[in-house]
Structure 1
Amino acid sequence: MVATVREHRIGDVRWTVVRGPREAAFRALGSYAAADIRTVLAGLPSWPVSARAGRSPVLFRAIESASQVEHPDAYAELTALAAGAGVPFDDLLLANLRGDLGADDGTGCTDLAWAGAPSLLGHNEDGAPAFDGIGRLLTLLIDGEPGVCVWWYPGFLPSNTFTLTTHGLVWGIDSVSVVTPSPCAGRHFVARTAQRASSLAEAVSVLRRFSSAGGFAYTMGQVGSPAVTVVEKAGHETAVLTVASGLSWHTNHFRQLPPTLDTASEESLARAEVCAHLTATSPDARWLVSALTTGVHRNAADGDDLMTLSTLVTDLDAGEVTLVPRGGAPLRAHALDLAAGNVAAVTGSESGQSVPGPSRHG
């Protein structure tokens, strides 16, 4: 069977759509994005991270083993991605486990949500300046699975930023640095498995069931549902909070799990202070976009190593998404169209360059 990769340009946003069987699709994606994958690996802060694994080789191999055993599909995806790109698998594995090895991997991302009428969910994707212009929308249409759209850093499992699925699931993820990682699966692998859920309740169940070496905070919703759910995950610990009304926010430290589990940077605390003082008399998508692109928007200045590369706001009532790429014009589309790779609905045409992937029989 043949996998295909199609590249589209929607205003100022790159959008890559991949279709086909799992391993063939990821091998084709790796081949197509090989140059960008190498750029990302070279631009990672504190790269190479092999020194971290070298300090704790038993922990590193325990995390790898748990990732492979508990999340075999995601592990196969990363393996195929490395093969397609022609880069050593351990390089991609180490990059994906940067936040699982007990070392600071940056304090990236802010999530803001409003539960009410309308219900809104917003995410700032923060990353290294080296990633500016390389990150893009990626839609995965893997045979037999729900469609998934994410903001993708080439070389990473497509799971650590924000997620939109054809089941109407929407969430953003904030990185949290844990003090003592557990010998569990890598957090990117857990997050990738959760993307197959058919409902918000099922996604939360997945996060409860699977342990995670590092820490993630998920701000989650579902198109057509007014509630917002926040899940904090580290090791075997899970905290779930349902927000029935009003503002919810999260930066890069735990708010529900014990504070002894993580480290809270001054930068994360400063954004938290901004979020805690936000007020909204009549919140809508425009208000949430403004909140995310002002006080908590980052510019890799004044000692801050990271910048906000994109902002995503989803109106859960209407299912409408507003995506603001750094330095670019907003893109507005339906969440389900992005997750389904419905190019005609998003762009008004079938334009886009088609790049065939390698054949795979099965």
Structure 2
Amino acid sequence: MVATVGEHRIGDVRWTVVSGPREAAFRALGEYAAADIRTVLDGLSSWPVTERARRSPVLFRAIESACQVEHPDAYAELTALAAGAGVPFDDLLLANLRGDLGTGDGTGCTDLAWVGSPSLVGHNEDGAPVFDGVGRLLTLLIDGEPGVCVWWYPGFLPANTFTLTTHGLVWGIDSVGVVAPSPYSGRHFVARSAQRAVTVAEAVSLLRSHASAGGFAYTMGQVGEPAVTVVEKAGHETAVTTVGSGLHWHTNHFRQLPPNLDAAPEESLNRAEVCAHLAPVAPDAKWLVSTLTGEMYRSASGDDPLMTLSTVVTDLADGTVTVVPRGGAPLRATVADLAAGDVDAVGALNGATAPGGSGVNVEARPTWEGP
């Protein structure tokens, strides 16, 4: 089994493109990004989630079992990623379940959507400073599946930030801390499975039918369709809102599900208040980028431990995307090109005569057959 890993840089954006059979591709990605994965794990070692897992080992293993049974492909991906990186599987599993074992998972994010002409979906990816400099765009071209582009945290399933697919699906995810998690699948595993959907309706159906231990809020759209759908998910609870017109926002607490399910961080409430007072008349992508990189921007200063690592805004009318890495210049592309890993097309759109980077062919170890 052979997988291909291509590393590219277009302007200020680092972009990794991985293709091949599922387990070979994730093992190759683990080998390629091993140093960054270890950097992330070293930076997360003191997180309170570690203590929660030790205090609740039965819950931790019950969630793991649910992941393996309900989402075997995603479980196999994480297993292969750990094997390729040469790190203990439990270390990666714990990192990926950090939001499924109680509140205080150290992540944030803001989503803003406008339904009008044009309709827009925007996302700020907020995380711990350990991710600054190691995060990047990642496109997965797994055999037999739709292409998927995300902002990737090394060591994590590529599902917890924003998603763009070759079916034109677009969504951002906001972390929500659930006070009393149940022994269901980890939210990253549920989100990864949803990336195979062809339509928003199919993605919503999958989220309705698959419980998750932790909480996520999805702000979803599809290229060529003006509507935006917001899905809040925790346990078996699902709240679905269709945004017919105007501005919709989401931060890190539930707006539709019962408030007793989550613990609303003060910082999330503060951002929510700012969002609630936004009054755009006829916003475009430029306005949305400016708002997310302005009023919503986080710098891990004062009492706020998190920073905005990247911003992405998608115009649902024509599928154009603006990606702004922290401290860098915007990258412009299309959903189709990013999800398909078309480096030449994206490079040309951004004035790069040679997109840069080099493809690295990685052959899976002949004796490795996966889990």
TM-score higher than 0.5: yes
The 3-state SS of whatever aligns with 2:99 is helix
Q: What residue is the counterpart of 2:175 in the other structure?
A: 175
Does the 8 Å CA contact 2:18/2:140 hold for their aligned counterparts? Answer: yes
Deviations 1:306-328 (A, max 9, x none): 00010000000010000011100
Q: Could you state the TM-score of these two structures normalised by the residue count of structure 2?
A: 0.96
**Map 1:148-167 → 2, pairs under 5 A:** 148-167=148-167
Select the residue among 346, 356, 362 that pairs with 2:361. Answer: 356
Question: How far apart are residue 91 of structure 1 and its match?
Answer: 0.1
Q: Gapped runs of 5+ residues in structure 1?
A: none
Q: What residue is the counterpart of 2:333 in the other structure?
A: 333
Q: 1:296 aligned to 2:296?
A: yes
Supply the distance in 2 between the matched residues of 1:344 and 1:235 (Cα, whole angstroms). Answer: 42
Supply the distance in 2 between the matched residues of 1:351 and 1:50 (Cα, whole angstroms). Answer: 39
**Map 1:1-362 → 2, pairs under 5 A:** 1-44=1-44, 46-47=46-47, 49-348=49-348, 349=354, 351-359=356-364
State the AA in 2 paired with 1:184: Y
4-13 or 52-61, which deviates more: 52-61
Does the 8 Å CA contact 1:45/1:105 hold for their aligned counterparts? Answer: no
Q: 1:45 to 1:91 in 2, by over 3 A?
A: closer
Question: How far apart are residue 106 of structure 1 and its match?
Answer: 2.3
Q: Could you state the TM-score of these two structures normalised by the residue count of structure 1?
A: 0.98
Detail structure 1 runs of 4+ shifted over 4 Å in the superposition. none
The 3-state SS of whatever aligns with 2:274 is helix
280-289 or 144-153, which deviates more: 280-289
Does the 8 Å CA contact 1:97/1:186 hold for their aligned counterparts? Answer: yes
State the AA in 2 paired with 1:355: V
Does the 8 Å CA contact 1:3/1:356 hold for their aligned counterparts? Answer: yes
Supply the distance in 2 between the matched residues of 1:21 and 1:296 (Cα, whole angstroms). Answer: 39
Q: 1:57 to 1:246 in 2, by over 3 A?
A: same
Does the 8 Å CA contact 2:2/2:364 hold for their aligned counterparts? Answer: yes
Does the 8 Å CA contact 1:41/1:47 hold for their aligned counterparts? Answer: no
Does the 8 Å CA contact 2:66/2:183 hold for their aligned counterparts? Answer: yes
Question: How far apart are residue 47 of structure 1 and its match?
Answer: 3.3
Deviations 1:325-354 (A, max 9, x none): 110000000111000001111012464211
Does the 8 Å CA contact 1:27/1:358 hold for their aligned counterparts? Answer: no
Supply the distance in 2 between the matched residues of 1:30 and 1:38 (Cα, whole angstroms). Answer: 10
Deviations 1:107-156 (A, max 9, x none): 41000000111000000000111211110000000000000000000000
CA root-mean-square deviation:
1.2
Supply the distance in 2 between the matched residues of 1:144 and 1:353 (Cα, whole angstroms). Answer: 24
Percent sequence identity over aligned pairs: 79
Supply the distance in 2 between the matched residues of 1:344 and 1:353 (Cα, whole angstroms). Answer: 12
Q: Gapped runs of 5+ residues in structure 2?
A: 349-353
The 3-state SS of whatever aligns with 1:99 is coil
Supply the distance in 1 between the matched residues of 2:103 and 2:232 (Cα, whole angstroms). Answer: 19
May I ask how many residue pairs the two structures share in their alignment?
362
331-340 or 100-109, which deviates more: 100-109
Deviations 1:63-112 (A, max 9, x none): 00000000000000000000000000000000000000013112410000
Q: 1:264 to 1:48 in 2, by over 3 A?
A: closer
Does the 8 Å CA contact 1:107/1:268 hold for their aligned counterparts? Answer: no
State the AA in 1 paired with 2:331: L
